[in-house]
Amino acid sequence: MTEERKISMAVIRRLPRYYRYLGELLDNGVTKISSRELSEKMKVTASQIRQDLNNFGGFGQQGYGYNVEYLHKEIAKILGLDKTHTMIIVGVGNLGQALANYPSFSKRGFNLIGLFDINPRLIGMSMRGIEVMDIDKMEDFVKTNKVDIAILTMPKTRVKETAENLAKWGVKGLWNFSPVDLFLPEHVHVENVHLSHSLMTLAYKINEAEELDNGNDYKPF
């Protein structure tokens, strides 16, 4: 990929939202849409939409708008959703189980193939037809099966070591739900979901609005 073509992660992070809206349009039988109409639906400026989508060579035709199905497919390709990905979940507590039962993942080609935990009460249980295995068996499993993504929903104390092992064993991506930052070799990709960060940001928004209402302000000193 040449330097000029390198798409910023800010744009990439907006693509899933375009993908979602286009999917809904498709479901509703809409075959074409202008950037203006899409702009009204998504509450994003039409110029932002054109700019974002121009990154990929532009899919729109002047005076016609976007072909919804085509654009939806192309975004899927860019995101790699035209391929399937195998996933394992490491840590099958409440959150791990919630993710194991997420119906939309498999619809998009993310196929769960293994569940691992350390807790003897969970080992041997079956979820979505997959048996929870002892974490001791994970090395063998990962080395034998092609595992693309490991979902880390385990206690934070063991995350660093586990992530390093998974990287060594050939997992390509880690979806990390622990409040721990992972610094790993470049060939392993990490995406963090720090739930408490998100909740704190919400608290900030609420708090800031109240301070303004009260005529207060954060006072630097």
Q: Annotated binding site for NAD(+): which residue ranges?
A: 91-96
Among 3, 62, 129, 183, binds a copy of itself (CB under 8 A): 183
Distance CA 67, CA 65 (A): 7
Within residues 186-205, the interface with a copy of itself by CB under 8 A covers 187, 189-191, 193-205
Give whole-number Cα distances, 122 to 77, 131, 141, in Å.
37, 9, 18
Residue with tokens 């409440």: 94
- Choose between 63 and 220: whose C-beta lies nearer to a copy of itself: 220
40 binds a copy of itself (CB under 8 A): no
**Binding piece for a copy of itself, criterion CB under 8 A, among 61-69, 92-100, 130-138, 160-168:** 92-100
Please list, in sequence order, all residues whose beta carbon lies within 8 angstroms of the beta carbon of residue 138, skipping any fewer than 6 positions away. Answer: 88, 90, 114, 116, 165, 166
Among 62, 94, 126, 214, binds a copy of itself (CB under 8 A): 94
> Least distance from C-beta 86 to a copy of itself, angstroms?
11
Q: Collapsing DSSP states into helix, strand and coil, what is residue 10? A: helix
146 binds a copy of itself (CB under 8 A): no
> Least distance from C-beta 68 to a copy of itself, angstroms?
17
User: CB of 130 within 8 A of CB of 153?
Assistant: no
